[in-house]
Amino acid sequence: MKLSRAKISAAQTALIGMGVVVKNINTNEEIEFLSLTDAAKALSVSRTAVKKALDLEKCLKKTYFIRKN
């Protein structure tokens, strides 16, 4: 049981602490965020959606490209 909780905790820390850069492909404006959660709030999407767009290297909402900072 402790091993599973440790893995979950480590995974959450990794997701929350990952800085990202969000680029608007229409305006070429880039904004840096300290975490996936901050980026998700600014884009009005879930943190999962931001992480998925980052992992798959696809645009989010057909406007935003996300990369690691």
Region 28-42 average pLDDT: 93
- pLDDT score, position 42: 96
The model carries a pTM of: 0.74
What is the domain extent for residue 17? 2-68
**Separation between Cα atoms, residue 45 and residue 64, nearest integer Å:** 12
- Asked if pLDDT for residue 46 goes beyond 80, the answer is yes
Using 50, 70 and 90 to split pLDDT, how confident is the model at 17? confident
37: pLDDT strictly greater than 70 = yes
**Does residue 45 register a pLDDT over 90?**
yes
- C-alpha torsion angle, residues 48, 54, 56, 57 (rounded to 10): 150
Tally of structural domains, the chain? 1
